[in-house]
Structure 1
């Protein structure tokens, strides 16, 4: 069985190949190692192999790992954020990928003001009409963004999505492309804004996501093995 370091090296090669196919610089893609359910030892091994960004789905699970992990890691919240966990998330996460409502954006803005430090976030968009997934609908995104961009203590860096699972990764391409086009439409409507980040793509489809413009890919199984 390959080691975590070997898995990361193989994924980086695939990232570079996908970026070249799209005429992109591989350095424009950040690999987030998703450590959900994995022990601290796995995070330490990933960090030793050059990983700087760690993704967790749950605030509480991340807090059990943070004190025992390398101090210079950037932690990303990639799971649904309940309002009652927003304060803890704002205190410990470098980037919150899953802001799925204006109300949550407003709460994070208040918390960031109290803390005296702006909070970086992504707006989560629900594509594919899956009722079990969180996120703003494509039709609600423009008005939510218009309101949230005026909040002075959060920094909207871009968009995030979790598309429906497609056994054939190429079938996810329309969802990734749609997220990119939604971002581009916002930039057209709000000239001068900057939304550089697109968080999309996981273990089975990250190469297609990169071809469609992903800047953050969230990879767990392909690094750490099955949960």
Structure 2
């Protein structure tokens, strides 16, 4: 099937409250243009340089989401335009995003990445680290970032029960945090980003409001 047909099929199956991030990493601009012409406006990339090149070349109403692991020294390259940073896994990174956003005179929305998988290769915060950030005076002092939700990745496994357990755990933390911290100047938890091509239907069942889908739209990655 074409990119257009794949997109239509996925969008027809998504509930209205779920936002689709089309993961375009490693894909050429013409593939993104096809998806754009089919109505998709939100694209996810995992390398800042590649995303910046695409931002410069493609229509300016595209929302670019940074979904990969972020190195602090590269934040400045995406600070002028990035729409949402998914993988904020430390307070130091949040501080750097705030600093670069201030230089660009904007507020950058962020998701805090939680570690829920049983894979050591994944990044993320545990519940204690999350609480330490959200309850700290240092966090409340940040004026140019806004934490709008949580993100997490399940273990890459065929064991659906395990994946479901991890997604449920993330959703429980999300609900607990909303209750505990409410809405603040730089905090309004509305997004829970979990679920990719292989597990997004299960993620939605477990409460996801944002899914990151690549290969089901664009086909297998080009490495």
TM-score scaled by length of structure 1: 0.90
Residues 1:58 and 2:47 aligned together: yes
The correspondence for 1:172, drawn from 157, 163, 168, is 163
SS where residue 128 of structure 2 aligns? coil
**TM-superposed deviation, 1:149:** 4.5
1:89 is matched with 78
Per-residue CA deviation, residues 72-115 of structure 1 (Å, 9 max, x unaligned), is 11000000000111111222310000110001111111122222
Contact 1:42 1:224 in 2 (8 A): yes
1:20 is matched with none
**TM-superposed deviation, 1:129:** 4.1
Alpha-carbon distance between aligned partners in 2 of 1:49 and 1:101, rounded to the nearest angstrom: 36
Which residues in structure 2 correspond to 1:207-222 (within 5 Å)? 207-222=201-216
Structure 2 stretches lacking a partner, 5+ long:
none
Alpha-carbon distance between aligned partners in 1 of 2:162 and 2:11, rounded to the nearest angstrom: 23
1:189 is matched with 180
**TM-superposed deviation, 1:146:** 2.2
Per-residue CA deviation, residues 32-84 of structure 1 (Å, 9 max, x unaligned), is 10011110000000111111100000001112222222221100000000011
1:4 is matched with 3
Contact 2:52 2:78 in 1 (8 A): no
Q: 1:220 to 1:169 in 2, by over 3 A?
A: farther
**TM-superposed deviation, 1:170:** 5.2
Per-residue CA deviation, residues 127-175 of structure 1 (Å, 9 max, x unaligned), is 1242211111233111122233542211100000111112244541111
Structure 1 stretches lacking a partner, 5+ long:
16-25
1:163 is matched with 154
Which residues in structure 2 correspond to 1:44-193 (within 5 Å)? 44-147=33-136, 148-169=139-160, 171-193=162-184
Contact 1:127 1:138 in 2 (8 A): no
Alpha-carbon distance between aligned partners in 1 of 2:183 and 2:11, rounded to the nearest angstrom: 33
SS where residue 135 of structure 2 aligns? helix
Contact 2:117 2:153 in 1 (8 A): no
